[in-house]
Amino acid sequence: MPKKLTVPTAENVAKKWGDVTPGRSTYYEANAAVAGAKWEAGATKAGATFQAAISAGDMIKKFVGGIKKAGGGKFERKVKAVGVGRFGPGVSAAVPDMQSGVDPFLGVLAGIEIPDRGPRGSSGNYAIVQKVGDPLHAKRLALLGAGAS
């Protein structure tokens, strides 16, 4: 005779998760901190799967639906409950990444010579924008492996 599964309430599952999971930070630190190469290999292999996933006919509907399901209220609640406390330490931890990320673009900018700005509305002013934007875009593509440096 078939029998029904015994299922805990969502409240009990969430309470246990909230009680137990914070104590697993040492497990997280020990395992996640050394998983970079495995992550990189798996993520690199997943390019075609990623393309198929984002190209699915109903992807925009799912994307928008997920946002609406979470709602702006959750976003704001998580900013206050989690984001504010992590903001400063996150920025501090990211300083070397910021430096290495911006350095190639600052190098490109330092090598650009631009003419003097013309009068407001001058087509020459738009040319200055293009003279700055094109090399920055080319550098971005080169860093992504999508074009020549």
Whether this model's pTM surpasses 0.75: no
* 112 within a domain of the structure (yes/no): no
* 18 within a domain of the structure (yes/no): yes
* 136 within a domain of the structure (yes/no): no
Total number of domains in the chain: 1
* 51 within a domain of the structure (yes/no): yes
User: DSSP class of residue 120?
Assistant: T
* 49 within a domain of the structure (yes/no): yes
Q: What angle do CA 58, 63, 69 make, to 5 degrees?
A: 120
Predicted pLDDT at 2: 87
pLDDT tens profile 19-31 = 999 999 999 999 9
* 43 within a domain of the structure (yes/no): yes
Could you list the residue range(s) of the whole structural domain that residue 47 is in? Answer: 13-55
pLDDT tens profile 28-53 = 999 998 999 999 999 999 999 999 99
* 20 within a domain of the structure (yes/no): yes
* 1 within a domain of the structure (yes/no): no
**Is 144 in a helix, a strand, or coil?**
coil
Q: To which residue do tokens 């190639």 refer?
A: 104
